Amino acid sequence: MNTGAWSSMLMLATIAPSLPAQDRSSARSMVISDRGMVATSQTLASQAGAQVLARGGSAMDAAIAANAALGVVEPESCGIGGDLFAIYWDAKTGKLSAINASGWAPKGLTIAALKAKGATEMPQEGIDSVTVPGAVDGWAKLHQRFGKLPWRDLFQPAIYFAQHGYPVTEMIGGAWKESEKKLGGDINAKRVFLRNGEAPSVGEMFANPEMAAAYRLLANEGPSVFYRGALAEAILKTSQRLGGTMTAEDLAEYSAEWVEPISTEYHGWKVYELPPNGQGVAALEMLNILSLYPMASYPSRGVEELHFQIEAMKLAYADLHRYVADPHFSPVPVAGMVSMDYARERAARIDPAKASCQTPPGEPRSMPGDTIYLAAVDREGNIVSLIQSLYQHFGSGVVVDDYGFALHNRGGLFTLDEHHPNALAPRKRPFHTIIPAFMEKGDTHIGFGIMGGLNQSMAHAQFVVNLVDHGMNIQAALEAPRFTKLDFGGCEVQIEARLTKEVREALAARGHRFKVMGDFSSNMGGGQVVVHDAKTGVNYGASSPRKDGAAVPEPAPYWQ
């Protein structure tokens, strides 16, 4: 078979089953519709987004509405107290737009100030882990450019669920239960999110009238209420009560930033990520290294494929840890990190027969030139790839006075090492783990993302290999067993139990050390995918079984 025919067959496989339905390895079917679609990690939020599409909303309207609803029904992962990144693909022009709505450190949050309090490392909880939340300003800028419906309409599902309540789902309920100690340490968090000191049970109805009040203000008064109005005042009151450093100017002067996506070619596909301060550059570096090996000839999830993927991940993550920070403060050699010459240099360090447990960063030359993820596509084929997060479960553990939402702890990703590019500094954004992604080839356009802290870049790369090299459809590519590593350095890797004992033993013989997780471990990160086939106008969606969500199509106008 010639290369062109093989490439066409693989592209078709992304939107068609690669095996007969009765003989497939994936547990779920793709969702397929000639109308729009929203895929999120909680079905009520997916449904809310799909209803917005049915009301004439754009993909961006649906994404914002779904995200706002997720802040209610998945409160440990996201909300208006967090940050946001998004990619938008315009079906008419083929143009990509992207926004970085990650917040900066308050002017008064300095290394000296924290050391004066006795800190020897960045706090991971409490008010000193809080940076300015950027999500609301991100929504505002995205809606202004790509929205159709009135701003107020987008928050009605969130207000409804917050006021009337919703039944707690399985994965979310488990994360909530694990957070009881953190929630118990904050007077507001304890009152709002615990009942008699305990998290709500799975299936139990939960309402948050205080959060409903916050969303009503946001809906009726607009995004400025969060940075200069009543919600800003509540954030500042909470911060001052807890000894924080945030000021009115820190909030009022914040602005999300439009950015240009970065990209690479992987076996005929163009794969896009966002530039630093996020970790997307590591996904591209990893894919560049893997492109030098015959991934399609290796058995899927077999010894050779996994060995080279794990080793490529270590090389890319060593560079990530060394170089990635806020580029407004520390130049990041992005062009060097995603160049193929540099990929060849890094790949030369991989021993085909042995795992490396000490992987130093390279020297890329400067060259010119708990999180939720959701994806939405509308009838016109416009795609939104959006990720939003509080970072760890319930973020900082600090819940805002009177308004029932948690503030994130993204400041915990700074370092107190003054010589590191990611050192804490006033008005600086920390290194960020959350990354949306997009890929395309010919008429096929895909918005995708996979959650889970440091897991995300390596999960993106594994998804792309499953799709491009092994011809899996989007659902199978999401479900396939994965590995992850949630720290930097060493040979320890987590893997899902579905990887066979024979494969694990062969990899162990090469020096890899494994912690075997469940069949569908949340540590591997749930993900969502939407695809638009520009040739047929048909949309496809997929949702990972590692989360509570689903891809939900826009309802048809049955009764009109």
CB-CB contact of 268 with 441 (8 Å)? yes
| Helices first, then strands: H and E counts in the chain | 20, 19
Q: Which of 14, 371, 433, 444 is catalytic?
A: 371
425-451 core/surface letters (b: 16 or more CB in 10 A; e: else): bebbbbbbbbbbbbbbbeebbbbbbbb
Tokens 């080793």 correspond to: 311
CA distance 412 to 420: 15
Q: Is 32 helix (H, G, I), strand (E, B) or coil?
A: strand
Of residues 502, 457, 506, 509, the one with CA closest to residue 483: 457
Question: In a 10 Å sphere around its CB, with 0-12 CB exposed, 13-18 middle and 19+ buried, how is residue 222 labelled?
Answer: middle
Decide if 110 is catalytic: no
Cα atoms in the 13 Å half-sphere on the side-chain side of 267: 24
Q: Which residues have CB under 8 Å from 402's CB, separation 6+?
A: 210, 213, 234
CB-CB contact of 95 with 106 (8 Å)? no
CB-CB contact of 405 with 399 (8 Å)? yes
Number of other residues whose CB lies within 10 A of the CB of residue 178:
12
Helices in 367-500 by DSSP H: which ranges?
455-468, 474-479
CB-CB contact of 85 with 99 (8 Å)? yes
- Which tokens go with 196? 């008699």
Residues marked active site are found at 371
